[in-house]
Amino acid sequence: MDWISPRALNRLGMLNMNRRNVDYIARYNERSSYPLVDNKLKTKLAVAEYGVKTPKLLQVVKHQHEISRFREMAEGLAGFAIKPAKGSGGKGITVITGRDGDGYVKASGARVGASVLERHLTNILAGLYSLAGTPDVAIVEDLVESDQSLARYSHQGVPDIRIVVFQGYPVMAMLRLATTASDGKANLHQGAVGVGLDLGTGKSLNAVQFNRPITLHPDTGLPLENINIDAWDEMLEMASRCYEATGLGYMGVDLVVDAHDGPLLLELNARPGLAIQMANGRGLLPRLRAVESLKRPHFTPRERANYAMETFASL
Amino acid sequence: MSSPSRLPFYIAVFLLITAGISLAVWRHVELGIPWLTGEQHPVWMVEARVDFNGSNQPVVASLNVPEQPPGFRILTEQAASPGYGFSIIDKSGSRRAEWTKREVAGPQTLYFKAQFIPDPGAEPIPPAQPPKTRRLFWEEPQATAVREILAQAEARSSTPESMTRELIRLMQPDTRVQNTTLLVSEDNYLQLLVNMLNHSGIPARTADGLKLEDARRRQQLTPFLQIYNGERWLTLNPKTAAQGVPDDLLLWRQGSESLLDVVGGDNSEISFSILRQTIPALQLAAMQSDGNGLGFLSFYELPIEEQSMFRMLLLLPLGALVVAFMRIVIGIRTSGTFMPVLIAVAFVQTTLVPGLVAFLSVVSIGLAMRGYLSSLNLLLVSRISALIILVIFITAGLSIFGYQMGFNTGMTVTFFPMVIIAWTIERMSILWEEEGGQEVLVQGSGSLFVAICAYLLMSAPLAGHLTFNFPELHLTILGLILLMGQYTGYKLSELKRFTAMKVYD
């Protein structure tokens, strides 16, 4: 067994689960703001007012009888994504990338019939994927077509960028690439690859899969060291804006880069995971403390993003 | 880092923990509730045996019995004497056991048994009014002798105690002068002492004590002298003038004139047998809690059925403590926060191995059936409901099957909470579909591990003893759990999880 000493973790400034919960989430996140991020539909509406773009909403399925209308609507579409509004951790998200006669082609390449999708919608409505098992609504969104420069790194699935935003300041970022192991999902604990990103430039730092450092993508075999995210400052500003939209002091912002529409907000997370630190090879605590000790916080998202790019590039 | 508002929290936690512990210590001291389960207390069983010959007349046998003997408390009293009417009569400062019978002939034997607990703090209640002295009329030449001896003793003393001591010294054979030789004869010594003290204005009386030694039979009482010093009665050895009651001396009679009166019988005698017994300290505490002001804090007075229910309930906080510790400090993943506690409670009733076998078989059969349910495309609520019914079928099936096969342990499945098992199966099944079998294994074995830890703690006899007899200790548990809620350090599992960070250090 291989262990790291708590003292070494302290030196690295690694944020741990208990401290995140007590000192950051409990202290900076208002309970009343949670529904805003736990419900993707509400998130969409809230951030729209602050000029943050999200994938186009195609349909909202609220009741069982509305499922029949889904079939009519989906007839004319090539690709779309079905998501439970209150789902967490990517659970219950089905991505359809194309058609095959009457059937639909999932992102994994599997073909499913319309009845499977309808059953999936039923499950979502019954609350199978929602946080507390409460009844839910399903939303159908336009399929995000990932920008080619990034999409080639990912096995199936759309690569997304997770940015941790603390009191409106982006403090750490990583690129998440789906793998076969993660079944096309961008969840690190399911086996997706996390690539740490330099906040100053949007260039990749190092990468991990299953908490172990790697240099090549396990499926595509592409080197992960020279990835560069375009329009990086724009993305940081967008993430920063979500703070005004939700009021959450400590959150994870998940962005994708669409080939046509540019950066889009996928979802917000009030309890962002800790694996981002492993992908960056750096601890969050020094950056969080730097923001906490700011005497005069910056007021605009632009200023905050600039501050983060200057200050945290080196930390 | 830490904001000032946390100070009151820590004070509150500190108060909770100390309140729990100090209440427990207080009750341990006051009520004698033992810390450990097997603790025993010595108890003296004294049996007084009264023998007399009946002479075809109605009989009243009246025996003085102890009342507030110094250094002891009376635990139980009982009389054994077939055919006799029996009652204990309290009158004017003396307690007497009275046996009565209409027709008595031939040798008779009566028994009176009492259990005494040594208690150094036990003191008789001082009399409300100071006792009066009885003046005796002395004839010459005794009157002169008494006067002179008393004057001699008084000259060398200042208090009733020292006066008594001097008097006893003067009456001893080696210091005797002419005056005392005139007065003292072999059998009137003690009574003479009492009379002389009374004459000098010090209230005095005799008392009888029993030397307590294990397994003695046919013991007799030894006489003692008691004087009243203005506040309370003091006991002195009439020969040595040693003051106080030795630890192994039980004052059987004090304040009453006679030890035994038998009316309607003759040749009466009394003898004592002594036995040292031990009884569980807990039983002792429970027996005494009724009369004590602190008794209201305990469960002893509830009906037995409620008591056993509370025994179970009061174990739950321990389980919660284990779960909190395992999740917050160790970092073991479990399926469902408190599912392990409920499983552990079921284990307590089934014992570990049969419980584990029953639980694993119900869950695995349930998982197999759930696989079919998931293909039926049901709504969540009806799926769970169907699962609950299936779980009940499985339990019933296992019980009947086990019983027919001759294993009574098959019946133990019924102790598991059905709804919890149904939810566990549902969660495991979803976990299986979404995250794969490995995660099911991790969380399932994590849950079972925590459940077994909780079970081992909850089934320890000491744990059951402490939680039930010192319910205030739960305040301490509450304090510990609150404290853990503020733990921001690394979990043990995180030291493993973040191992890869070593290269950046």
* Mutant choice from A1, A2, A5, A9 vs B, greatest count of B C-beta within 10 A: A9
Query: Where are the domains positioned within chain A?
Result: 8-53+147-311, 57-142
Chain A contact set for B331 (CB, 8 A): 17
Q: Does B305 touch chain A (CB under 8 A)?
A: no
Architecture of domain A8-53+147-311 in this structure: 2-Layer Sandwich (3.30)
pLDDT at B402: 79
* Mutant choice from B380, B423, B487 vs A, greatest count of A C-beta within 10 A: B380
Question: What does the alpha-carbon distance between residue B406 and residue A194 come to, in Å, rounded to a whole number?
Answer: 57
Is B101 buried (19+), middle (13-18) or exposed (0-12) by CB count in 10 A? buried
Chain B contact set for A2 (CB, 8 A): 496, 499
Q: Does B489 touch chain A (CB under 8 A)?
A: yes
| Yes or no, beta carbons of B380 and A127 under 8 Å apart | yes
Measured in angstroms, the CA of B326 and the nearest CA of chain A are apart by: 13
Q: Pick from A3, A119, A126: which is nearest to B499 by CB? A: A3
Chain A contact set for B502 (CB, 8 A): 4, 8
Q: Does A26 touch chain B (CB under 8 A)?
A: no
Q: Does A23 touch chain B (CB under 8 A)?
A: yes
Spell out the residues 6+ positions from residue B128 whose beta carbon is closer than 8 angstroms to its own. Answer: none
pLDDT at B474: 92
- Biggest CA-to-CA distance, chain B: 120
| Yes or no, beta carbons of A18 and B380 under 8 Å apart | no
Beta-carbon contacts below 8 Å between A and B? 85
Q: Where are the alpha helices (DSSP H) in chain A?
A: 6-12, 17-19, 26-28, 34-38, 40-48, 67-75, 114-126, 148-151, 232-246, 275-280, 285-292, 301-311
Distances (CA, A) of B461 to B279, B338, B458, B465: 18, 23, 8, 6
Q: How many residues does chain A have?
A: 315
Question: What does the alpha-carbon distance between residue A25 and residue A251 come to, in Å, rounded to a whole number?
Answer: 8
Chain A contact set for B504 (CB, 8 A): 12, 281-282
Which one-letter DSSP state was computed for residue A273? -
The values of phi and psi at residue B239, to 5°, are: -95, -45
Q: Does B9 touch chain A (CB under 8 A)?
A: no
Q: Is the pLDDT of residue A308 over 60?
A: yes
Lowest mean pLDDT among A28-42, A243-257, B367-381, B490-504: B367-381
Q: Does A12 touch chain B (CB under 8 A)?
A: yes
Q: Pick from A12, A18, A278: which is nearest to B505 by CB? A: A12
The 10s digit of each residue's pLDDT in A180-238 is: 887 777 778 878 899 999 999 888 888 998 888 888 888 888 888 888 888 898 999 99
Can A8-53+147-311 and A57-142 be said to share one CATH topology? no
The 10s digit of each residue's pLDDT in A280-300 is: 988 999 999 999 999 888 889
Question: What does the alpha-carbon distance between residue A170 and residue A315 come to, in Å, rounded to a whole number?
Answer: 13
pLDDT at B1: 42
- In this structure, whether the domain defined by A57-142 belongs to CATH 1.10.3470 is answered with no
Q: Is A143 helix (H, G, I), strand (E, B) or coil?
A: coil
**Averaged pLDDT in 10-residue chunks for chain B of 505 residues:** 70 92 86 76 85 85 83 82 83 80 84 84 74 76 78 82 81 69 71 80 84 80 83 81 81 80 85 81 68 61 76 89 92 84 85 85 87 76 85 86 74 74 83 78 90 92 86 92 90 88 79
pLDDT at B19: 92
| Yes or no, beta carbons of A12 and B504 under 8 Å apart | yes
| Yes or no, beta carbons of B504 and A277 under 8 Å apart | no
**pLDDT band at residue A126 using 50, 70 and 90 as cut-offs:** confident
| Yes or no, beta carbons of A91 and B497 under 8 Å apart | no
Q: Where are the alpha helices (DSSP H) in B128-244?
A: 142-155, 160-171, 178-183, 189-199
Chain B residue with minimal CA distance to A207? Answer: B500
Measured in angstroms, the CA of B336 and the nearest CA of chain A are apart by: 12
Q: What single-letter amino acid sits at A199?
A: L
